[in-house]
Amino acid sequence: MGFISLVTGKPGASGFGSSSTAEDVTNGLDATQITAIVTGGASGVGAETARVLALRGAHVIIAARNLNAAAKVKEQILSHIPGARVDVMKLDLSSMASVRSFASDYIDRKLPLNILINNAGVMLCPFELSEDGIEMHFATNHLGHFLLTKLLLETMKQSAKESGIQGRIVNLSSIAYLAAYAGGIQFEFLNDKKRYTDRGAYGQSKLANILHANELARRFKAEGVNISVNSVHPGFIMTPLMRHSKSLMKFLKFFSRILWKNVPQGASTTCYVALHPSLKGVSGKYFSDCNEVKPNALATSESLAKRLWDFSEKLTTN
C-alpha cells in the first residue's frame, strides 16, 4: 500500500484500505464457532477488536492488566450487543508469573482457543526493568506474548484438530519496527540503560513481534499444524498506548493528520487477518491497511528470527 492509498483510503488487492473499519472488513462473517483471546482488550484498538469479534458472534476473552477497565469494556459491549459472549481475565504481560497464571487458569476452564490476538503493549516509556529483570518494552510487547503463545499452543492445536477450523494468531507490530536499534535486536545489551533509547527499544520490540510470527509460521508449516500466524501494523492511532508521549504525538498529528486513523479503522487490519476467509492458509506475512506488504530485510531474516526464538526460550524457561 503506497502513500496515496494511505491518504485517500483507496482499497488495495484485498478490497479494503486505510479507511476501512473493523466492522467493514468483517461484515457478513459468522464467528459463532470461534473462541478468541484479545490481550490488552481494555482500551483502544484492543477494545474495538474485542467488540467487533463479539459482534460477529465470537466468544471473546479480554485479557487485561486493568480488570476494572476491562469490566467496563465488557459492560459496554453487552449494552450494545445483547447476548454477546465476553469474559474478562487478569493478565500482566510484563510478568512471566502472571502469564503462566493466566495460561494455567485458561487451560483449567477447558475452553477451546481458535484465535489469539497478541495486541497489548507499552510504547516509548522511560527505561524500566520488569519484575523479571527485562527491559519493559521487550518484556511486555514481545516476551510476554512469546510465552503466552507457547503455553496456549497445545490448546490451539487441539481446538483446530477437533473443530476443523484453522487457528489464527495475530501479532500487533508497527511500522515503528523500522526504528529498531542497528542490527535489529540488542541481545547482549538488552537491559543496558546507557544504550537505551525509547524509540530504539520500542522499535526493537515491534521487530521482535514480526520475527516471532515468521519463525512460528515456519515451525507450523514444518509440523503441518492447522494454525496460521501473521503480524500487522494497525496504523497511526491516538490511543492510551501513547500516554508516555502524548504531547509529542499530538504535535506530530497536527502536522500529519491525513495519515492518522480513528480506532475503528485502527482495528480493521487485526480483525481482517483474524477472521477473513480469504486469508485461510496465509501465514508468516505482514499486513498494513488490510493488505499484505513486504517488511525490510531485518524483519524477514530467518537467522535473526531463529536467534530471537532461542534467546526468548532461554529467558522464559524456569
Catalytic positions, please?
A: 196
Residue 308: all three cell numbers together: 530471537
Cell of 132: 523479571
Q: How far is the C-alpha of 166 from the C-alpha of 279, rounded, in Å?
A: 10
CA-angle at 107, arms to 212 and 210, nearest 5°: 10
State how far the Cα of 231 lies from the Cα of 169, in Å rounded to an integer.
8
Query: DSSP 3-state helix, strand, coil percentages of the chain (rounded to 5)?
Result: 50, 15, 35
SS3 state at 240: helix
- Distance spanning both ends of the chain, measured CA to CA: 43
Amino acid in position 81: I
Look up residue 95 and give its DSSP letter: -
Q: Which of 31, 40, 10, 185 is nearest to 102 (CA)?
A: 40
Contacts of 224 (CB under 8 A, 6+ apart): none
Grid cell digits, residue 258? 491525513
* DSSP one-letter code for 142: I
**In this structure, what are the phi and psi dihedrals at residue 237, rounded to the nearest 5 degrees?**
-140, 135
Is the distance from CB of 78 to CB of 156 less than 8 angstroms? no
What angle in degrees, to the nearest 10, is found between the helix axes of 44-55 and 268-275? Answer: 40
